[in-house]
Amino acid sequence: MPDSEIELIQRAQNGESKAVGELYMQHHAQIFRYVWSKVGDANLAEDLTGDVFMRMVARLSTYQPSGVPFQAWLYRIARNLIIDHIRKSASNQAVPLDDMALLQEPGPPASSMVETKLTADALQKALAKIEHEQAEVIRLRFLAGLQINEVAVRLQKTPAAVKALQHRGLAALRVVMQT
């Protein structure tokens, strides 16, 4: 971890709100893409991403820079929140009634939104059909935008193992998407 990030984390741990904001700005986009890749719903992903950073602030005092890299720590928080959300939603089969609000809000054309949703749904279904570790590598590499070395740290694997998982995962994904 670069010294500047360690200093930034220490400043945030000391209660400096500007440092907390900088951590948020540095990590928000990647955490959002990761969460979205898991839940497949941009609005829900935005809510859960906000919750990740709320937990980050609440638990920042417990983070030790000498342990897990900070970004891996954030991914662990995100993963745990996603698991909690899935457990809760499995027990509460509520149907959202906010579809009418979507029709009234200005935004991209409905055809574009439908196409994007169908593509995201197809990708989520395809990822669910391949091996879990392969799907996780694909999510982190292409949806969260992480580099091979960053994925290796998060998954506690070697870069070579991540490359192999990525290669096999993309091949499996190609087969699933063609059927």
Task: Looking at the structure, tell me whether residues 7 and 87 fall in a common domain.
Answer: yes
Is the residue at 101 inside a domain? no
**CB neighbour class for 17 (10 Å; exposed up to 12, middle 13-18, buried from 19):** exposed
What CATH number did the domain enclosing 13 receive? Answer: 1.10.1740.10
Q: What is the pLDDT of residue 91?
A: 64
In the block, residue with structure tokens 């029709």: 103
The pTM is what?
0.57
Is the residue at 66 inside a domain? yes
In the block, residue with structure tokens 């829900």: 44
What CATH number did the domain enclosing 114 receive? Answer: 1.10.10.10
DSSP string, the chain: --HHHHHHHHHHHTT-HHHHHHHHHHHHHHHHHHHHHHH--HHHHHHHHHHHHHHHHHHGGG--TTSS-HHHHHHHHHHHHHHHHHHHHHH--PPP-THHHHHHS--S-HHHHHHHHHHHHHHHHHHHTS-HHHHHHHIIIIIS---HHHHHHHHT--HHHHHHHHHHHHHHHHHHHH-
Task: Looking at the structure, tell me whether residues 81 and 121 fall in a common domain.
Answer: no
Task: Looking at the structure, tell me whether residues 48 and 113 fall in a common domain.
Answer: no
**Number of independent structural domains in the chain:** 2
The whole-number average pLDDT for the span 59-82 is 88
Is the residue at 97 inside a domain? no
Domain hosting residue 21, numbered range: 1-91
pLDDT digits 0-9 by tens, 110-138? 444 555 555 666 777 888 889 999 988 88
Task: Looking at the structure, tell me whether residues 9 and 65 fall in a common domain.
Answer: yes
Task: Looking at the structure, tell me whether residues 12 and 59 fall in a common domain.
Answer: yes
What confidence category does residue 101 fall into, taking pLDDT thresholds of 50, 70 and 90?
Answer: very low
Is 89 within 8 Å of 136 (Cβ atoms)?
A: no
User: Which residues, 6 or more positions from 172, have their beta carbon under 8 angstroms from its beta carbon?
Assistant: 129, 130, 131, 134
Is the residue at 80 inside a domain? yes
The overall average pLDDT reported for the chain is 80
Domain boundary among 57, 91, 125: 91
Is the residue at 157 inside a domain? yes
**What distance in Å separates the CA atoms of residue 120 and residue 109, rounded to the nearest whole number?**
17
Is the residue at 96 inside a domain? no
Is the residue at 98 inside a domain? no
Task: Looking at the structure, tell me whether residues 119 and 70 fall in a common domain.
Answer: no
Is the residue at 121 inside a domain? yes
